[in-house]
């Protein structure tokens, strides 16, 4: 299961840029990988783990801007098509590193 997070936060003022940077750092610290600007993805063992993480994530959301979350299966994620360019190095890394559940 993958959790995709899309966000659009204001960055006009110095304070807004700081909020944006802190939110981005938070996502990275929680294991998210950027696949495109303001689009991050994280792998979970199952839907329940992803739902529990969404509850934690809601506490950290900035007050301004828009954030969307979408849960997709590995099969759905694998069918994603990149139209222009190629798969980024980060995308290759998170796709190549299979989820291992012990």
Pairing mode, if any, of strands 39-43 and 33-36?
antiparallel
Q: Per-residue pLDDT tens for 43-56?
A: 999 999 999 999 99
Domains delineated in the chain: 2-96 (3.30.70.240)
pLDDT attached to residue 100: 46
pLDDT attached to residue 102: 41
Helices within the chain (DSSP H only): 14-29, 47-60, 74-78, 89-96
Q: State pTM to two decimals.
A: 0.78
CB atoms within 10 A of CB 16: 15
CA distance 35 to 92: 10
- For the chain, residues with pLDDT lower than 70 are 90-91, 93-102
């Amino acid at each position: 299961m993958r959790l995709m997070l899309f966000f659009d936060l204001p960055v006009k003022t110095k304070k807004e840029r700081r909020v944006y940077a802190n939110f981005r750092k938070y996502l990275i610290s929680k294991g998210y990988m950027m696949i495109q600007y303001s689009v991050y993805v994280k792998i979970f063992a199952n839907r329940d783990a992803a739902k529990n993480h969404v509850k934690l994530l809601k506490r950290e959301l900035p007050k301004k801007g828009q954030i969307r979350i979408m849960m997709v299966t590995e099969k759905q994620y694998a069918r994603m098509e990149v139209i222009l360019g190629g798969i980024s190095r980060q995308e290759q890394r998170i796709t190549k590193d299979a989820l291992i559940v012990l």
